[in-house]
Structure 1
Amino acid sequence: MYTPPAFRDEDVESLRATIRASRLAHFVTATTEGPLATPLPLFLDAREGERGVIYGHLSKANPQWRQPPQGEALAMFMGPDAYVTPSWYATKRETGKVVPTWNYVAVHAYGPVEFFDDPERLQEVVTRLTDLQEGTRRDPWAVSDAPEDFIKAQLRGIVGLRMPITRLEGKRKLSQNRSAADRAGVAAGLAESEDPADRALAELIPR
């Protein structure tokens, strides 16, 4: 990921927070047949390994897991993002020398990937992923709520993935390369949006 110094995020806790907040990631592998990518909910176990381990699962019918990866796999996590109009910049009123851009938060995690179909490991991954997604609901659903035989049948249709992280890249493109007046204009413009993602990004703009 191309990341100019002004936008680089090297804080481990910040990177992990972005991963945890991402509802859907893109899992990418390079193969002899070309790159393969699947949108997947993934979770981070920060206690495992030197830099943490990414877990998830994909359909057994998905050909991605059958193609041997060439080198490391890549998991891409996106935080809030928003279009930035030049109209918000103080510089527009001063010189007019401005153009549109896009602000966003992103983390790329790299590592070797292992695919597995052991039922016990699969059920653990599915349970942990479900608990993370259901944890904020008033009446959370649990894997144990479904009949055991039904869950076992469902597990036969998926493949687990485990990716120990060897490298993390973080980017927070939040108008850091603009003047304080321009950043204030961007933050104010995003804060007035009806889109919750725009308003979330407004809170991240450096003042």
Structure 2
Amino acid sequence: MYVPKHFEESRVDVLHDLIIAHPFSTLVTMSSIGINANHIPLHLIQEAGQYGTLQGHVARANPVWSDLVNDVEALVIFQGPSSYITPSWYPTKQEHGKVVPTWNYVTVHAYGTLRVIDDPTWVKNQLESLTTQQEASFDKPWAISDAPVEFTDKMIGAIVGIEILITKLIGKWKVSQNQPALNQAGIVQGLESLGRSEAAELATVVKMAQQNAR
């Protein structure tokens, strides 16, 4: 990933926050027939390793775990909020007109070797961790124990666990840091006016980048 210095985000806690807030990832691996991409949620264990460890599961029928080129790094992409940025939001458009559209986004790339864990006890523990995290915001959180044991055991038998110890973590926060403060303020106002949750989240990220640059 191309990361100009002014868009680089290297603080591990910030990168971890994005992974936790946006756990649905794109997992890129190398198979015997070439590059393979799968889209799965992954649970971050922050304290496991220098950069944390990702845990998840895939369908047993999915060849991602059985057709895997050994010792080749896996890449996991986590995508945060993004939005088209219109030049109409830039006050400098009225001054000189030398403005163009862009796309603002935040993303994290995590690298590490994928380990397959075909162990129903491990898989069940991983599922409990993932569901506990995702159900926390609901009034009546669902738990695996809510379903009949024979049913969940059968479902667990149809999936395989995966784990990636993160060895490299790269963050890109492309949120108009290269624009003057006046235009950044216009972007925030424009994003907030869209009335979309993702745009509002991105507006917050732009404001935080402004504050950090001071």
Q: Deviations over 1:139-197 (max 9, x none)?
A: 00000111111111001111111000000000111100011111111111001112110
Is 1:201 aligned with 2:202? yes
1:46 Cα deviation (Å)? 1.0
Superposed counterparts of 1:55-70, under 5 Å: 55-69=55-69
Amino acid in the other structure paired with 1:127: E
Superposed counterparts of 1:145-156, under 5 Å: 145-156=146-157
Question: Aligned partners of 1:157 and 1:32: how far apart in 2?
Answer: 23
Question: Aligned partners of 1:30 and 1:101: how far apart in 2?
Answer: 32
Superposed counterparts of 1:163-202, under 5 Å: 163-202=164-203
Unmatched segments (≥5 aa) in structure 2: none
Instruction: Tell me the number of residue pairs that the alignment of Structure 1 and Structure 2 aligns.
Output: 207
**Which TM-score applies when normalising by structure 2?**
0.93
Partner of 1:80: 81
1:66 Cα deviation (Å)? 1.5
Aligned CA RMSD, in angstroms, stands at 1.1
Question: Aligned partners of 2:69 and 2:85: how far apart in 1?
Answer: 37
Question: Aligned partners of 1:87 and 1:50: how far apart in 2?
Answer: 43
Secondary structure of the structure 2 residue equivalent to 1:63: coil
Secondary structure of the structure 2 residue equivalent to 1:172: strand
Question: Aligned partners of 1:50 and 1:176: how far apart in 2?
Answer: 28
Superposed counterparts of 1:9-48, under 5 Å: 9-48=9-48
Unmatched segments (≥5 aa) in structure 1: none
Amino acid in the other structure paired with 1:179: P
Q: Deviations over 1:30-59 (max 9, x none)?
A: 223111111111111011122211001111
Question: Aligned partners of 1:40 and 1:151: how far apart in 2?
Answer: 19
Amino acid in the other structure paired with 1:10: S
With 57-66 and 6-15 compared, the bigger mean Cα shift is at 57-66
**Which TM-score applies when normalising by structure 1?**
0.96
Question: Aligned partners of 2:18 and 2:81: how far apart in 1?
Answer: 9
Which consecutive aligned stretches of 4+ in structure 1 deviate over 3 angstroms post-superposition?
Answer: none
1:202 Cα deviation (Å)? 0.8
Q: Deviations over 1:89-108 (max 9, x none)?
A: 12211221211111111001
1:23 Cα deviation (Å)? 3.9
Superposed counterparts of 1:79-158, under 5 Å: 79-158=80-159
